[in-house]
Structure formats: C-alpha cells, structure tokens
Structure 1
Amino acid sequence: MRLHIVSFLITCSVIFHIGLVEASSQAKDVVVVSAKRVESEVQRTAENVKVYDEEYIHSLPARDLGEILKYIPGVNVKVVNQFSQATSLSIQGSESRHVLLMVDGIPFNTQLSGQANPVRIPIENIKQIEVIKGASSSAWGSSLGGVINVITKDAGSEGLVHGRFSTAYAEFSTTFNGLELSGGNERSGYYAAGSFLATDGIRDGAQAEASKFFVKGKTRIFDQINLTASFGHSDLDVNDIIPDPFFGRMDIHQPTVATYGQLNADMEYDLLKVQAALKYNKQIIKTNTTFLDFGGVKTSISGLDSYVGLSLNASYPFFEEDLLVVGADVEKQTFKVSSQIATAETLRKQAPYANYTMTRGQWDVIPGVRYDNNETFGSQISPSLGVVYHFDDEQDSRFRFKTSRVFNAPPLLWVHQETSTTLPNPELEPETGVAYEAGYNTNPMPRMNVDVNVFWMDIKDAIATVRVGSKSRKDNFDSFRRRGAEVLFNYELNDQWNVYSSAAFNDVRDKANEDIVKDQGIARQSFGWGIQYHNERGWVVHLTGFYNRWSSPSYLQANDRKPIFDLKMSKRFITDRDRIETEVFLNVYNLTNSKYWSSISFPLPERYVEGGMNVYF
C-alpha cells in the first residue's frame, strides 16, 4: 500500500509539472514588501515572488527557518542532521552566498563566507516569509540567486497580555519550550517571544542547544510618525562527529551567537510615505575541530561579523495608480577571523535606488535601477525592466516578464585570508550577469491556481577555487549559465481539503565545456506534493513530501532517489469560559523511514515522532 501511495503522488507531480504553493499566497490582497521595497500587491510585481503566511507556517512540521524553507519549491536547503545544525540555501541553482537572507530587511549574510545560516532565525515570531526567486540587484544589490525576507509579527494593539506557551518532546531526547507575549493599545504596543531547544542528536556526539528571543515595541507620536524598535538574540551550541571522506572522523563543536535589531520610523504626510531604519547585526561564529583519526589534532577558528546599516525610503503615488519609490542604503560591515587575519577588515557600501510602477489599463510597466558603490569591489549599476499584463478573462490570468543586470560581491574573507592551505586574492572581482525571467499565472477552474515560471541567467567572472601549488584560492575565470523552470499548482477541493504538487528543474553549466556544475546543496530536479485538511472542530492535518535529486559529486555517495514524507496533525480545544485555547499536535518526520542523504556524512534522520501542545491565552 505504501508503494502505491508513493507512486500515485509522484505520478501526480509529473502529470501536473508543478511547484508547491500554499493556498493563501495567491490571494489578490496579498501584500509583499521585498519586491519594490514598499508594500505592493503580489499580482503587480514582475518578480517571481511568493508569500507564506503565519497560518501556513504553523501547519508545517518544522522547528527552525531552515526546516520551513525546505518545503518551498525552488528553494533548496542542504541536507544536514537537523536539530540546529548549520545549513545553507540555494535558489534557482545558485550558490548559497548568492541568496540574500534577511529579517525585517536586516541582512544575515556574513563577510566570512558570503552566506547566511537560516537556523539562527527563530520561527515563533514570523508573520510571513517573502521569497523572491531570481536575482534582485535593482532592489537589494548583491543577490544573484534570490532574496528571502522574514517579516516579524507586529507589536500588540489591544489588551494587557495575550500570548502562547508551547512545549514539545521528540525522539533523541529532544525538548522544546517557547513563550510569546503581546499587548498594547491604539498608540503603543509590545511583542516578545523566547524559546529553548535541547537535543542529543541523531548520533553520538551530535548534541545541540539553541536559545532564542525577540522583542519589539512600537509607539505613535504626533499622529503621523510610528516608531518601532526590535531586538533579537540567538545563541546556538552545536556539536557533531562527522565521518568526512578526506579527513576521517571530525569532532566539531560550533557555538554561534547572533544579536540583531533595528530602530524604524514610518512617517506619512498626505500621500507621501517616508521610512528610515537604523539596523545592526553582530554574529560570532566559533568552530573547534578535533581530527579523531589523526592523533586528536585540534584546530580552533573564531569569526566575528558586525553589520550596521541605515536605510531611507520614500514612496509617492502618481496618477492614482502609479507609484514612485526612491531610497538609499548606507552600510558598514566589519569582520575578523582569529589566527588568519591580523586586523579587522571593513567593507563600506552606499547604494541609492529607485523604481516606478506605471499602470496603464491592463499593463504594469516597472523600470528600476540601483547604484552600488562598494569601496572594496568598485561600483555596479543594476537596471531592470519588468512588465505585467493582466488578461481580461474569467481566469484572472496574468503574464509577467523581467530582465535585469545583476551582480554578486564575494565575501571579504576570500580577499584577505591566508592559511597553511589557502591564499588571499586582492584582485577578486564581483560576479556579474544578465537575467531573464517570465511567468504565467491563471485560475483555470474555481479554487484552482497554476503558476508557470522560467528563468535564464548568464554569469560572467564566476568565482571558483583554483590550485596554486599546494594551496588554493578563489579566482574569477568561469562563465556559468543558469536556467530552469517550475510550475506551481494548488487546488482547494472544498472549504476543508486542499491539495498541491510540485516540480522544478535547475540546470547549471560551465559555459567553457558545458559540464554540469556539481554541488550537494543544489537540487537539479525537485518535486513536492501535499494534502491539507482542516474543519470547524479544530482539526488540522498536513501531509507534505518532496523528492530532490541533488547535484552531488560522486565521492559524496548521494542516496537521494526517493521521496520523503512529513506529517503534522493538530487539534484545538476551546474553553469559552476563560477564553483559553489548547492545541495538541503530533509530527511524524520521514514517514516512510527512508535512508536518505545528499552527502553520506549527513544522513537525514530516519522516521521519528514529536508531540507537543500550545496554550493560547
């Protein structure tokens, strides 16, 4: 029976050639911030952008942002041992450093590696996740792969205290406890969330602890200015013993700390909206490694990445439906690596940008441009032109197209790092390219949505590792081509049942020889599917699955040609007398108990269960 179910779901994926999308994300009134740097309707953006709201996120069996993102089509999350282990992201076949990851516009990408670790970001305080698939340099600068912006929950607006207490227990001695509180009035409010996770891990030596908290406060002054301040802190202590194919068994201890926040002012003067945000993010990453098969040789590396930024933004509507957006980002990022770089290195950037949405009948024409002045890597001009055409039909169909000049600056570490095995390259240049993307969205039947997307990007001065004697360094010499497609389908059978299925294809090639670029964090082919059920009695069931064919090199011995299923079931109990709601839930991970990995060093846990409860008050 299990094989029949698996075959049926895979067949559905192939027949529809489609990509995962939650029902609510295609609603007409969905608002996205990340595409134009101001609030705008999804159907009037030329980018391939998807929004995942709090309700959908809560329905997933996930404990951190990395586990949520693995269910989103077109977003590849590197397979690791779960439970707070560091992971990386890829969008449309990009390298992980090409994906810009932010919380309320605060970047988490470091100058140590160029990439961001989503595990450091808590999920209890997420209002929605906005995902732009494809380069977005005209809005955000360095981002060849895409943008993921986590929007946090608003401060409370009524009552002294509302909240939620969460607790859960899973196999491998895994415990989780969390608390959310909010309250306020029409002028002022607050929100606070904190959580703690501890686990022994799926194998000896893989224990981990993670404590995270986030607070936000708001107030209104002069009836025209809203002030919001937020502060977040994540403290992870992660261990693992990894059987590496080259270095044997490595005992790794990695404590990391992230402290971030911002002070934001929103002002409205008639139709003019102005926003100013002062942002910061300090991340400390330590890695202590013991090579167990080499006499217990120890190494220790400590990295510090500190970011400070000021973002200014203004928008004004013209001719009722047009919208002009102008703004600027001024940023300073400093990093230091113990024992590798003698002094701290600093990167300074200034970037004005603008975009204009011109609506004429069934057409939206959206030109944009951004000028990035990077004091280390020089200047980049990133123009873009997007078009959206709204068909006059009952299916509410629309076609979008966008072309843009894009770039990605390398991390400063590659410019300055010199060790016993690596060399610095002060001549390193940003990767540049031209990107094309198109999409078609339609509702062929009531309650059904289909979304087809294609992309093509040629990258010049691509960065790769080269050998220089017995050492290696990063250098510009390759030209890569990234192209692919995804099709998204969602069907609400009725008010209780919803089904979806997915397929996406990424083709990344070295243009010099047309060889496929191998990377265990990039899925060449991926499929997704799921069924959701909910009723008025408080039951919610979400069965979701995926099939990823990773582009892993042969020496990693990938075992990925099989589907993985996860399940979450929950039931709410409401007591009208004291207005307290209790929700119990059961998560089953890897339902088919499959042995699965993209690298043999990081197997996915076999089937295990997690149970818990939420108390709302």
Structure 2
Amino acid sequence: MGANKRIVRGVVIALGVASGISAAVSTAGAQQERDMKVLEMFYEDKDLVMTPSRDPKPISQVAENITVVTAREIEAINAHTLADVLYTVTGVQIDLRGGPGTQSTPAIQGSDPLHVLVMIDGVAQNFLVNNSADVGAIPVQQIERIEIIKGPASSSWGSSLGGIVNVITKSPNEDRAATGLVSTSFGERFSGDHRGELSGTVGGLGYYLHAGKLHSDGLLANNQFDGNRAYGKLQGEIGEGGTLQWTLGYSGGSRGDQEDPRADLTSKNRFDNLFSTLSFAYPVTERVDFDLSLHTSLKHLDRYDSQLSTGVEQSQLSIEELTYGGSAKLTWREQVHHLAIGTDFDHGDVRETTSAIGNPVAVVKPRLTKWALFANDTIALGSLTVIPGIRYDHTNTNGDFASPSLGITYGLGEHTVLRGAVARGFNIPPLVFTSGDGLTTAPSPNLKVEKVLSYQAGFETSLFRYFWLKTTFFRHDVSDAIVPILLANGQAQFLNQNRQRREGVEVEVKTVPVFDTTFVAGYAYVDARGRDSGERLSNVARHTWNLALQYDDRRGLRGNLAGHYIWWNAASINQGRYTPVIWDLNLAKRFFAGERIAVEAFVTAHNLFNGSQYLADSLKNPRRWIEGGVRFSF
C-alpha cells in the first residue's frame, strides 16, 4: 500500500543510491548495500527497523544495541505472552516465576524494570502509578515483530532510562483473498491457548482481526490464570499515497500470584487493558512525509492480598488509569539526510484506592501531563553514518529534561559494521512516588527525574562466513537514582539519593545452517554498583546465558531446543536458586500443505530436565510440564 511504497523509497534514499547523488556518495552507498546483503542471511526480514529514529531505516545505520524478534521466531518457541519472548532475548532479564500469563516485568542490562518502556502500536503499556509494564498480560498472536533497544532511548521516546520494548502489530494482508489461522493447544493442569486471526482486503479497506483465550488451573499453588484478548486493525488509502489506520486492542483476565508461606500471604489480581489508535500518514512531497497519530488507553487493576493461614483478606488495591495523547511528525529524506522532527503530547488521570485492616480507605488522584519536541537525523556519508538526536520533555510533576544523543556506524569492508553511541536519558518517577498512596507511601512532590549518561560501542560481523558475531560493550552512569527511606510513622518515602553504574558486555553468535541446524548463543554480563559506595547492587542479574539449537528442513519439520541460565546477585534471605540451565524443547510438523491451506501439529516440553531457577523461593518456577496442539492456516 502507500505506506510500504514510502518505506521503500525512503530506504533507497537513505542508502544513498537515489539518482542525482554525487559519484562518491553513490559508490559508498553501493558499498553499504553490499554490506547489507552479507548480513541478510542472518537478519532475514529484520533489516529495516523504525524504533531508533521513529522512521524505518536499515539496521546497518542503527548505532544503538537493538534486537529484533519476528512472528516466525515467536511461533517457533510456542510463546503465549510477551514475557515468554523476552525471556529468550540476550541482555533482557526476566523472572518467569509461574505458568502461562503470570505477572512479569522485564529489565534490560540490569536496569530496574520500572525503567523499561513497553509499547504496542506506539501506546505505552506501563502503568503511570508505578511505571510497571506487565508483559505477562500481553498476547503475541497479533505481533509482527518486536524491536528492543537496550539502553536509553530518550532522544526519540522520552522516559526510557533502561530501554524500549516496541511491539509492532501485523498489518492487513494486501491480497484481497482472506487469510487466517486457527490454533489450539492443551497442556497439563488444564492449560490451554486458543487463538484465531483473519486478514484481507475488501475494496480499498484492509483488515486484521485476532481473538484468543489463555487458561490454566495453575502449575503451582495459587498460580491459575484465565484471560481473554482481542485485537483489530483497519487500514485504507486516502488520496495519492495517503494512509488512514485505526486499531483497537484488549486484554483482560484474573490470576493468582502464588503463595508466600514465610510471609503467610497469598495474592490474586484482576486486570483489564484497552487501547486504541488512529493514525494518518501522507506524502507531502516526494521527499517529505507527514504522520499524525492519536491514542487512548484505559487500564484497570484490582489486587487482593489475604492471609494464607486463615484466608482473611488483609488489603486491597485498585488502580484506574485513563490516558490520551497524540504525535505529529515530519520526515524529510534527501541524498544524505533522513531527518524526523515532531512533537508528542500525553495526559493521564489516575485513581488509586488502597485499603488495609485497621486503616481507613485511602484515595489519591494524581495526574501526569507531558509534552515534547524531538529531532533525529541519519546522515549517510558512504560507509560512515552519523546519527544525532535531541528531545526536550516537559512534565507537570518532575520538571523538564533535554535528551541529546550521538551515534556513529561504520561499514568496515563487506562483512563488518562498527557501532558507537553516547546518549543522555531520563525516567519519570512513578506517580505513587510523587503523590504517595495515602497509606504506606508518603508523597515526594519535589522528586526529580532519574538521569543516565550512557556509552555503548560494539560491532557485528559475518567475516567468517559461517557464523555471525555481535559484541556490545556498555556503561550506564545513573544519577539522582530513587531510593526508599523509612519514616518514623512507618511510611516509605522515595528520594533522589543515589548514584549507580551498570557496565558490562553482550555477545551474540549465530551460525549458518549445517544439515538444516543452526546454533544460537547469547551472553550478557552486568556489573551493577553504587558509584559512591562501590558496593554491588542486589537483585540484579550478573550473568545471563541463552543457548539454542534450531532445526528447520524447510519441508515441514521444525525443532528448537533452547536453554536459559540467569544468575541473580540476590540476598541470601531470598533463598533463590539459579544453578541449573532451564531447557525447553519445541517441535512442529506440517502434515498438509496445499496452495492456500496448511495443517501443523506442535508440542512443547517446558523445563525439560526439571531445573529450579528462581530469584526467591516465594515465587518459584514451574517444574516440567508439556503441552501440544495444532495450527490450521488458510
């Protein structure tokens, strides 16, 4: 459609091969195109990314450390939620503490989970009241790709000190004939994941529809889950190359959050998340595009904590959030530059109600209003690409902040890309830190944003022809880090009283297929310390390993044996365990493949060797469990 045509045209211009460029730039652009061809065997359909600069460009022109996960890779591991996918990404730390749908929050390169911005279709999924994004509640069937930036992305997206998880959903099938999928799976403890999707074009209107249900009686005590999800996207052309698009997404359910015998506590929660977008894109001239998008979301969470021994309810928390906003962007592409300038606006109203035995009901109604201006350029000078960016953010709660960044990539020969970046980033404190909750948390109205100065350098190469190697060194210096202080009345107050440093290295390796088998490995080392005390920070993953053997004969048989190991620097009182590697085995066999119809059966053995790997014994991981099902696509 029109959007796809503009992307192709923009990439050609960004690579420096459009007509009218000088001979020197054209020669260098051809060199860059050869570099991309060498890497294509490892990237497949990942070579265009939009998250770093908010407009599609080749991954060879990205200075940030970025990982892309495609729909095909999500299907290969039989993922149920976004948490299952992020669990496999190098540099992302997540504690999968239960079965399907369990509440989970990701960290990136040892960051606090509250510093990771999670988006779907450009809509933030983080709660304003606590900055958490429950990736265990986000379904995966509608996902086309996930782009993960490791490190601050504030010059493009604002509050994102730790990184970005950007979910890009599937687009309507441009073929007029309807295509779709029906999938169902069943596992132990009455676990089941049932999905359907339909996509096509009627007249000039494209559509994508998805609905599903995820259920489990619980693989651990008080670990049950029952949830529903739905998603829809409509897209049509307006005028000459213009595109109008509307989306609507919903996920909701109820679940148990395990039991803590030591604290004599058990918890349950109920959640509902609804969001919608309306966007318009139009080519103003041959080189200038205009994009306008509006969004709104409604989040609701009820949490109930009860005494395990008696069943008596101890406390209840209810959160309601209504947010709305919009973005406007102009993109200018010419022979050397690929410039995106724009503005964002967001407003959120929160109502938090807290009650506990012996205390009156507390109600607080904080709100957050923020606006921003941003500009990001990609300057292609042959094999050298320079990527400057800057953003200015204003908030009604924590003041203003400017986020400059500068990145460089260099194509070294036909096989290697060098990368380096320095960026200043920030994170808006959760509203509960600023306003308090009226019960356990005292307000800190003068709280400042947390700041980071980040440095990253690395390379990726296919020089050895038989395998791809990517290495990234990073250092994140955090200032005005927020820490809790216990007051005399028993309340906690959060203050800017710490400086931290997180530094380390990531290494990723992927081989070319040998006898239809590919080996993939990723390792992340994070040294997180207080910059003043020099003491190592607790509950930060220091070593993370991801290993996989992937088999695909391209004729219908697929297999994926994946191992995950994470070593948390946790206090001994947690009584965590993280000695064994957790292995998962995924197998799939296509039994029928016609011109438009295919039938595939699949089976997954989770925690194949019954390993125990968890941060705290109050939130353990499930033992081995098995599920299987069938997919019917047409």
Instruction: Give the TM interval when normalised to the shorter protein.
Output: over 0.9
Shift of 1:552: 2.0
Asked if 1:474 is matched to 2:489, the reply is: no
The match for 1:264 among 260, 279, 284 is 279
Shift of 1:525: 0.4
In structure 2, the partner of 1:349 is: 370
Shift of 1:422: 2.5
In structure 1, the partner of 2:473 is: 454
Q: How does 1:260-339 map to 2 (within 5 A)?
A: 260-269=275-284, 270-293=286-309, 296-318=312-334, 320-339=335-354
Q: How does 1:337-376 map to 2 (within 5 A)?
A: 337-339=352-354, 342-376=363-397
The match for 2:453 among 417, 424, 434 is 434
In structure 1, the partner of 2:52 is: 35
In structure 1, the partner of 2:106 is: 89
Bigger mean CA offset, 506-515 vs 90-99: 506-515
Q: Distance in 1 between matches of 2:255 and 2:246?
A: 30
Note if contact 1:157-1:188 (Cα within 8 Å) is conserved in structure 2. no
Q: Distance in 2 between matches of 1:28 and 1:179?
A: 24
Letter aligned with residue 232 of structure 1:
G
Note if contact 1:109-1:115 (Cα within 8 Å) is conserved in structure 2. yes
Letter aligned with residue 559 of structure 1:
R
Over the aligned positions, Cα root-mean-square deviation in angstroms equals 1.8
In structure 2, the partner of 1:573 is: 591
Q: Tell me the secondary structure at the aligned position of residue 441 of structure 2.
A: coil
In structure 1, the partner of 2:523 is: 503
Note if contact 1:158-1:186 (Cα within 8 Å) is conserved in structure 2. no
Change (3 A) 1:26 1:244: farther
Note if contact 1:79-1:598 (Cα within 8 Å) is conserved in structure 2. no
Residues 252-290 of structure 1 deviation map (CA, whole Å, 9 limit, x = unaligned): 220000001100111113221111110112110110111
TM-score under structure 2 length normalisation: 0.90
With CA pairs under 8 Å and 6+ residues apart, which has the higher RCO, 1 or 2?
Answer: 1
Q: Distance in 2 between matches of 1:613 and 1:301?
A: 39
In structure 1, the partner of 2:26 is: none
Q: Distance in 1 between matches of 2:298 and 2:516?
A: 44
Shift of 1:409: 1.0
Shift of 1:536: 3.3
Q: Tell me the secondary structure at the aligned position of residue 537 of structure 1.
A: coil
Q: How does 1:223-242 map to 2 (within 5 A)?
A: 223-242=240-259
Q: Distance in 2 between matches of 1:78 and 1:358?
A: 40
Letter aligned with residue 30 of structure 1:
D
Change (3 A) 1:309 1:220: same
Note if contact 2:260-2:266 (Cα within 8 Å) is conserved in structure 1. no
Structure 2 portions without partners, runs of 5+: 1-38, 355-360
Shift of 1:203: 2.7
Structure 1 portions without partners, runs of 5+: 1-21
Note if contact 1:79-1:602 (Cα within 8 Å) is conserved in structure 2. no
Note if contact 1:30-1:51 (Cα within 8 Å) is conserved in structure 2. no
TM-score under structure 1 length normalisation: 0.92
Q: Distance in 2 between matches of 1:172 and 1:97?
A: 32
In structure 2, the partner of 1:544 is: 562
Q: Distance in 2 between matches of 1:57 and 1:537?
A: 19
Q: Distance in 2 between matches of 1:90 and 1:45?
A: 22
Q: Distance in 1 between matches of 2:433 and 2:271?
A: 21
Q: Distance in 1 between matches of 2:618 and 2:436?
A: 27
Q: Distance in 1 between matches of 2:530 and 2:46?
A: 41
Note if contact 1:156-1:184 (Cα within 8 Å) is conserved in structure 2. yes
Q: Tell me the secondary structure at the aligned position of residue 414 of structure 1.
A: helix
Shift of 1:534: 0.8
Length, aligned pairs only: 588
Q: Distance in 2 between matches of 1:129 and 1:238?
A: 26
Note if contact 1:23-1:490 (Cα within 8 Å) is conserved in structure 2. no
Asked if 1:157 is matched to 2:174, the reply is: yes
Shift of 1:575: 4.5
The match for 1:490 among 491, 495, 510 is 510
Change (3 A) 1:539 1:575: closer
Shift of 1:445: 1.8
In structure 2, the partner of 1:252 is: 267
Shift of 1:538: 0.2
Q: Distance in 1 between matches of 2:435 and 2:45?
A: 48
Change (3 A) 1:293 1:616: same
Asked if 1:404 is matched to 2:423, the reply is: yes
Bigger mean CA offset, 289-298 vs 498-507: 289-298
Shift of 1:156: 2.3
Shift of 1:398: 1.3
In structure 1, the partner of 2:534 is: 514
In structure 1, the partner of 2:17 is: none
Note if contact 1:158-1:185 (Cα within 8 Å) is conserved in structure 2. no
Letter aligned with residue 301 of structure 2:
I
- The percent of aligned pairs where both chains have the same amino acid is 28
Q: Distance in 2 between matches of 1:497 and 1:23?
A: 18
Change (3 A) 1:495 1:42: farther
Q: Distance in 1 between matches of 2:261 and 2:628?
A: 33
Q: Distance in 2 between matches of 1:186 and 1:44?
A: 37
Q: Distance in 2 between matches of 1:111 and 1:71?
A: 27
Shift of 1:563: 0.5
Shift of 1:294: 6.5
